[in-house]
């Protein structure tokens, strides 16, 4: 899973990544780069920035435009962001696993002895081997333009923040004028998307002053707005926290659909075919993000995002130490809803859409689905 460092506000995103080799055409579905041109009737490959077998170091830039909508109210918020990094390989690395065909990023779960969590002054994080470890937080006070870093196991120091950007970035063809300046920390005002459906957007960057990307000038086409059918807010919590898969639907389109599921133990993303207009979220995915299928009181968020990505290769990194980069443009439209499981009284758990006494239920002893042998009974949650 490629993790992009975005300064995004909200749930929807539109992104840009810059590439050095090749020439950009006006074809919004084209991928131009070192490996030749790729065109077709469908949007460009939306799952990778560069071929998996290409180990060439590359810079990565990302700009985001989109809209994020609450299913229950229909309230929509714009998202505008930008990010650039000299090492796209690091940005692509993540500690993710495949669950029932979906990609899941787990929340690190650390333990200190027999206690869950880390001690004071530490944070739980994944190391390079994707193991959950407690790491000390860097607490040294630094000046403007500096950041605290560890120079040894326990030694902290202040280091100048490396600036890597593309200068001022402006847009035309949007519903409101948009101009971004480094470090691109912007909180958009107003409601709704900053673009019209299937409209042409023009983005121009002046280029980095020191290190980053040289200026670029691109046009691309935005996605269409997502409409779930039925609305996510109308899904039955008994079905969501039950046993089977959970079906979601939307008015079919022609871009890419990503169905997201978030819970206490992680977030999963499932790719779906936009033209199908429906997708069933595997129960295994829901159980993984919840941490336990027998949780009596849990919360879960479901989102459906339509995404259109266009990849360009008409800009070059500047003083980045690499010769290659990528420019991708993504517009998205998303709808999300949160759900709370029915709260069962102490000793009960939500099993198959019902509160079951797992202290003495022979078919759900101690937890949902734990059936005692025919010669035993359930007492205090234990088969005896």
- pLDDT tens profile 341-379: 766 777 887 676 677 899 999 999 998 889 999 899 999
For the chain, the helix, strand and coil percentages under 3-state DSSP, each to the nearest 5: 5, 40, 55
Strands 58-70 and 324-340: parallel
- pLDDT tens profile 83-101: 898 887 776 667 888 999 9
The pLDDT confidence band at residue 62, using thresholds 50, 70 and 90, is confident
Residue scoring higher pLDDT (311 or 219): 219
Stretch (H or E) spanning 105: strand 102-106
pLDDT of 125 reads: 81
Q: pLDDT at residue 261 above 50?
A: yes
pLDDT of 92 reads: 65
The pair of structure tokens assigned to 9 is 């506000």
- pLDDT tens profile 311-341: 887 668 887 777 788 888 889 999 999 998 7
| 197-204 mean pLDDT | 96
pLDDT of 353 reads: 60
The pair of structure tokens assigned to 121 is 């002054």
Domain ranges of the chain: 347-384
């Amino acid at each position: 899973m490629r993790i992009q460092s975005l300064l995004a506000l909200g749930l929807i995103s539109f992104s840009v990544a810059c590439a050095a080799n090749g020439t950009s055409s006006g074809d919004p579905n084209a991928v131009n780069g070192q490996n030749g041109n790729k065109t077709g009737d469908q949007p460009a490959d939306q799952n990778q920035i560069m071929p998996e077998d290409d180990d060439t170091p590359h810079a990565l830039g990302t700009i985001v435009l989109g809209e994020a909508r609450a299913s229950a109210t229909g309230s929509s918020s714009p998202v505008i962001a930008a990010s650039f990094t000299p090492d796209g390989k690091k940005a692509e690395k993540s500690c993710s696993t495949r669950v029932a065909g979906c990609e899941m990023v787990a929340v690190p779960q650390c333990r200190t002895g027999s206690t869950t969590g880390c001690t004071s002054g530490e944070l739980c994080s994944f190391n390079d081997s994707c193991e959950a470890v407690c790491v000390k937080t860097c607490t040294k006070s630094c000046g403007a333009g500096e950041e605290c870093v560890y120079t040894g196991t326990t030694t902290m120091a202040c280091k100048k923040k490396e600036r890597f950007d593309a200068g001022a970035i402006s847009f035309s063809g949007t519903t409101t004028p948009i101009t971004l300046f480094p470090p691109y920390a912007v909180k958009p005002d107003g409601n709704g998307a900053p673009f019209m459906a299937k409209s042409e957007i023009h983005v121009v960057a002046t280029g980095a002053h020191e290190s980053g990307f040289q200026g670029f000038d691109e046009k691309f086409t935005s996605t269409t707005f997502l409409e779930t059918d039925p609305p996510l807010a109308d899904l039955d919590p008994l079905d969501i926290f039950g046993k089977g898969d959970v079906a979601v639907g939307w008015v079919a389109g022609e871009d890419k659909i990503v169905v997201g599921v978030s819970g206490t133990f992680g977030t999963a993303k499932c790719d779906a075919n936009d033209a199908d207009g429906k997708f069933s979220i595997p129960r295994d995915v829901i159980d993984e993000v919840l941490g336990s299928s027998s949780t009596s009181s849990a919360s879960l968020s479901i989102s459906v995002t339509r995404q259109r990505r266009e990849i360009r290769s008409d800009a070059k990194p500047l003083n980045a130490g690499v010769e290659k980069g990528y420019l991708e443009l993504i517009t998205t439209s998303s709808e999300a809803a949160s759900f709370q499981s029915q709260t069962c009284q102490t000793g009960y758990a939500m099993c198959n859409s019902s509160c079951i006494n797992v202290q003495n239920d022979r078919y759900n002893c101690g937890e949902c689905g734990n059936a005692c042998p025919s010669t035993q009974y359930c007492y205090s949650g234990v088969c005896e």
